[in-house]
């Protein structure tokens, strides 16, 4: 966290993710000093040039809090979740139900008592372990959770 009257947070974003981030994207801010509390903010700056740290390309961004809070201090450690896209009414699966390999993405869809490998097209991924399914399944289809034992 930077020492600034507006309490801006500086973060580094990996090269593979920077293309999805835009100015004013909403940000959830979690401060280690306040476990369980989520502060709201937004992206206010995206550095145009890269920073290389340990051979890894990153881009600096800054996020600002939406509201002032007298409990916030300079020097606190922060974790950011930047919302780059939001969709509603979509079909999602837990990531443990999706197999991704050199053949693409697929699931084991239950047809009666038998599991059938079914190709799916993936959309956006949430930070809490869910993946949007844009094609290959319908609402109500049952799939196996590959990463969990004995769970259809």
pLDDT digits (tens, 9 = 90+) for 93-139: 999 999 998 889 999 999 999 999 999 999 988 877 899 999 999 99
User: For residue 115, what are the CA distances in angstroms to 6, 45, 88, 112, 141?
Assistant: 55, 48, 28, 8, 11
Interatomic CA distance for residues 52 and 14, integer angstroms: 10
User: What is the pLDDT averaged over residues 83-94?
Assistant: 89
Alpha carbon 22 to chain centroid, angstroms: 14
Query: What pLDDT score was predicted for residue 85?
Result: 84
Interatomic CA distance for residues 85 and 28, integer angstroms: 14
pLDDT-based confidence at 16, cuts 50/70/90?
confident
The overall pTM is greater than 0.85:
no
């Amino acid at each position: 966290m930077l020492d600034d009257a507006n309490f801006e947070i500086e973060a580094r974003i990996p090269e593979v993710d920077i293309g999805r981030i835009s100015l004013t994207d909403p940000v959830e801010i979690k401060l280690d000093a306040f476990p369980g509390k989520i502060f709201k903010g937004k992206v206010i700056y995206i550095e145009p040039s890269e920073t290389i740290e340990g051979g890894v390309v990153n881009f600096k961004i800054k996020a600002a809090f939406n509201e002032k809070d007298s409990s916030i201090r300079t020097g606190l450690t922060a974790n950011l979740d930047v919302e780059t896209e939001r969709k509603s009414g979509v079909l999602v699966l837990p990531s443990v139900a999706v197999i991704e390999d050199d053949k693409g993405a697929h699931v084991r869809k239950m047809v009666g008592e038998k599991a059938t490998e079914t190709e799916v097209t993936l959309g956006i991924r949430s930070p809490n372990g869910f993946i949007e399914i844009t094609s290959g399944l319908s609402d109500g289809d049952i799939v196996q959770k590959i990463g969990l034992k004995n769970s259809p």
